[in-house]
Structure 1
Amino acid sequence: MNADRAQLPSRLDSARAVMGPLSIGAFVATDHATVRWLLDDEPKEATGVIVTETGLRPVTGHDFAGDPREVRERLGLDLAVVGVETSALPAAVGRVLGGRSLCDLTHLLAPLRSCLDEAALARVRFASRLASRAQTVFREGLAVGVSEAEVAAAVFEAVSRPHDAPAPIVDLMFGSRCALVGMPPTGKRLAAGETALLDFAPLIDGYWSDSCSTVVVAATPNQEIRRLHLAAMKALERAIALVEPGRTVGEIDRAVRDILAEAGYTCPHLTGHGVGLKQQDYPLFSPVSTAVLREGFVLAIEPGGYAEGFGIRVEHVMRVGAGGAELLTTHSLALV
C-alpha cells in the first residue's frame, strides 16, 4: 500500500463536499486525472471511481457491461441525479446512466485536484528538479555540428534513473525548426548563431513538471533574436510577479501578451497552464479566463514568440504560495 494513501481521506472529503450542496448521491469519476487523484494509482487497472456518501469504489469498463438497470442497481447508481465528468464520459457509462439526470462536476473538481497536497507536491518538486537538470545538460551539450538527436540522448541519459526512467514530453529544435513551436528531435545539426530550444516535461510517479529554455551558441545572437528573448524574459518576470492567491489567470495572460505585443510579437500557444496529474492541467491560461489562483496550485508559465527562421520560448514552474510564486524549476534562461 502506498504510504501517500494517508492523504486520500481529504481528497475524498473534498469530492463529497462538492456533491452535497447539489444533492448528488453518487459521482462517477472517469477523467484519468480525477481517478488517479482519488485512488493514488491503486488499483492501477481502475479506469473509474464511484464516490458515494459512504464509500469509494474503483471500477473498470467491465463493471458497466450488461443490462443497464441491473448495472445501476449493482453499482448503486439507480438514482435520480448522478455526478459525472462530461468531457471524459465513456459511452458505456453513458449507456448505463441513460435516463438519469447527469450533473457535470468537471469545473468544480478541477480546482480541487489542482491544489496539490504535500504528497503530490513532493512528486512535482522531484520532477521539477529533473526538468532543471535536463535543461542544464541541454545547455552543456550544445556545440556547432551536434545534432538534435545527440543532445536529446545526452539529456535522457543524464536524468534517467535505473529501472525508473522519466516518461517525458520533449520538444527539441535547432534553427528554423524553432519557429515550428514544438517538434521532436531529428538529425538536424546546429550551426553557429542559430537558436536551440528544449521544452522538457518529465512525468514521475504520476505527476508532471515542465521547463523550457532557448540558447544561442558560438556566435553573438542577432538583434532580432536578442529583442525577442528580452521581451519573453520581461513577460515571464512580470507573470511571476503577478502570481498570488486571488489573481485571475486572465489578468496574468493579458500582461504576458501585452509585453510581447509591445515588441511586435504574438504568442500562438498557451502562455501558461497548471501542472500536476496532467501535463497541461487546470487552469489553462487565456486572456478571457476567469479562473482564480488558489494557494497550492502549481503553474508553468511559458511566454514565447516565433518568426521566420527562429523562435524563442522561456518557462519556469512555480507553486502558488500565500505570499506569491515559489519557483520549483531553477535552470538558467540566459540566451548565451
Structure 2
Amino acid sequence: MLYNRERAIKYMKEAGVSAIIATSPKSITYFSGYSWPLESSMRQYMFTPEASSELMFSGFVLIPAEGEPTLILGSRFAMNSDDVWIRDVRLFGGNFPFDLSMSPAGFVGKAGEVMRGNSYETAAEALVAVMRERGLADGSRIGVEIEGMGDSGRLALAGLLPDATLLDCTKLIRLVRMVKTDAEIDRMRTAINIAERAATAAIEQAQPDGTLEAIEREYRIRLGEHCADFAAVQLAAGGVGLTTQPTYAPSRSEVVFTDWCAIYRNYWADIGMSFMFEAPPELVRTKDAALKECVAAGGRALRPGVRSSEVFRAMCDALAKGGIEGNEPQGHGIGLDVREYPIIVPDCGGRIVDDCIDVSADFPLEENMVINLEIGHFLPAIGAIQNEQSFIVRSGGGELLIPYSRRSPVLAL
C-alpha cells in the first residue's frame, strides 16, 4: 500500500472532517494503487468536440476517517484494477458494445463483475451512494480535492450532497503525501537507480560534437530495459541556458551540465551531474567540489524538526565557503510528482492554506520525507556544472536514496 493511512486520518481529525475525497489521477493512485497512463491526458473535447477540457474519465477515492476506503472507477477500466488494495470498488458508466456471439456462457472474477454491469450512471452518483451507505451525506464535513475536478464536476457533486459541507482539501492531501511510506521509498529507490544507471551509460557513450539526440536515445533505451519511462533530459547549452534541442552538440572542451528525469511505476526520479570529454581544468574542479559540498551540507541538515529554510541556509553557507556567490541552491520533495512539498527555499512568511489547513510554508521536516537537492553553476562559453541527489530525511541527517557511483567522464563525486 502506498498511502500513509495514519497520517491521512491525523490530518482529517485536525481539520474536523469525516472523510476526504481524492479526485486527481495522481491522488487516486496514491490512495488506491490504481493508475491508467492516459487518464491525465484524455479530455472531454477529444470525444465530444464542443465539450470542455475537463478530464474525460473521472473517478474518486473516498477515504473516511473511520472504515475502509472506496474506489469509484469507470466500467471500461475495471480490468485495470485487479491489483489495487481497496476491496470496495464501485463501477459507473457504460462499457464497450460487446459482441457476445462467440462468448462462453459465464464469466468469473473481475470479468464477471464487469459483465453483470452496475447501477451508477456517473462517478458522482456512485460516490453519493457510498456516502449515504456510510452515513456521510447528511450533516458531515467532507474534504474534496478540488484541483482534480472541473467546474461542472464540483457543481454536480454539490447538487447531489446538499446537506453535506464540502471543503477544499487539495493542499491537505499534498501534506499527507509529503512523508513517504516504505512502499513509496522502495519504488523511488528503484526509479532513481534505473535513471542513474541509464544516464551514466548515456554519458559514457557520448562523443565530442555528438548530439543531444544521441545521448537521449541511449538514455531512453536503458530506461526501457527496466520498464521505466522517459520524462526529460536537458543540457546547459554553452553555459548560457537549458536546452532539450536534439541537434545541440556540446564541444570537446565544454563542461556539460545534464539533468535527467524518469518515471517508474508512477514515481519520479530526478538526477543531475556534469561531464567533460577532456580532463577538467583546475577552475572547474574547484567549483565542482564547492557544488558537491553544497549538496552534502544540505543533506547533513535534513533532520526531523529542521525547517526548510534552515536547509537552504546550510547550502548557501557551504557555497559561500567554496567561493561561489550569487547562486541559489534548490530543493524539493519528490514522489508521484517531480516536485512536491516541502520546497527548500528561504522563509518569506508564506502560508499553505485551503479550507482544511493553514500552516507555514516553511515546513519543519519529518522522518521519511524524500527530498531532492541540487545546485547548478553557469560559466558562459565554458559550460555549466550540476550536482543533484535525493535524500531520505533521517534522525542523523539525510540518507542518500541510492549509493551514487559515477564514473569518468562524469566529474567524480
Q: TM-score, normalised by structure 1?
A: 0.82
Deviation at 1:315, TM superposition (A): 0.6
Deviation at 1:248, TM superposition (A): 1.1
Of 69, 83, 104, which aligns to 1:56?
69
Deviation at 1:207, TM superposition (A): 1.4
Q: Which amino acid aligns with 2:365?
A: L
Of 267, 270, 273, which aligns to 1:213?
273
Cα deviation digits, residues 96-132 of structure 1 (max 9, x gap)? 2267544343444334323222222211111121122
Of 140, 143, 146, which aligns to 2:204?
140
Partner of residue 299, structure 1: 371
1:157 aligns with 2:216: no
Deviation at 1:259, TM superposition (A): 4.1
Partner of residue 121, structure 1: 185
Task: Report if the CA contact (8 A) 1:135-1:331 is conserved.
Answer: no
Partner of residue 22, structure 1: 15
Deviation at 1:211, TM superposition (A): 0.8
1:254 aligns with 2:266: no
Partner of residue 322, structure 1: 395
Q: Which moved more, 1:240-249 or 1:23-32?
A: 23-32
Task: Report if the CA contact (8 A) 2:72-2:127 is conserved.
Answer: no
Distance 2:138 2:126 in 1: 9
Q: Which amino acid aligns with 2:400?
A: L
1:332 aligns with 2:396: no
1:281 aligns with 2:340: yes
1:169 aligns with 2:224: no
Of 240, 261, 271, which aligns to 1:179?
240
Task: Report if the CA contact (8 A) 1:201-1:209 is conserved.
Answer: yes
Structure 1 residues 111 and 71 mapped into 2: Cα distance closer, same or farther (>3 Å)? closer
Of 74, 77, 100, which aligns to 2:129?
74
Structure 1 residue runs of 5 or longer lacking an equivalent are: 1-6
Distance 1:14 1:102 in 2: 21
Distance 2:15 2:150 in 1: 23
Task: Report if the CA contact (8 A) 2:235-2:259 is conserved.
Answer: no
Task: Report if the CA contact (8 A) 1:192-1:217 is conserved.
Answer: yes
Cα deviation digits, residues 264-322 of structure 1 (max 9, x gap)? 3323xx71111211121221221114112111111111112334343322111121223
Structure 1 residues 209 and 20 mapped into 2: Cα distance closer, same or farther (>3 Å)? same
Between the aligned residues of both structures, percent identity stands at 22
Distance 2:139 2:264 in 1: 38
Distance 2:127 2:280 in 1: 67
The size of the alignment, in residue pairs, is: 321
CA RMSD of aligned residues (A): 3.2
Structure 2 residue runs of 5 or longer lacking an equivalent are: 40-57, 75-91, 94-119, 132-136, 348-360
Structure 1 residues 190 and 71 mapped into 2: Cα distance closer, same or farther (>3 Å)? closer
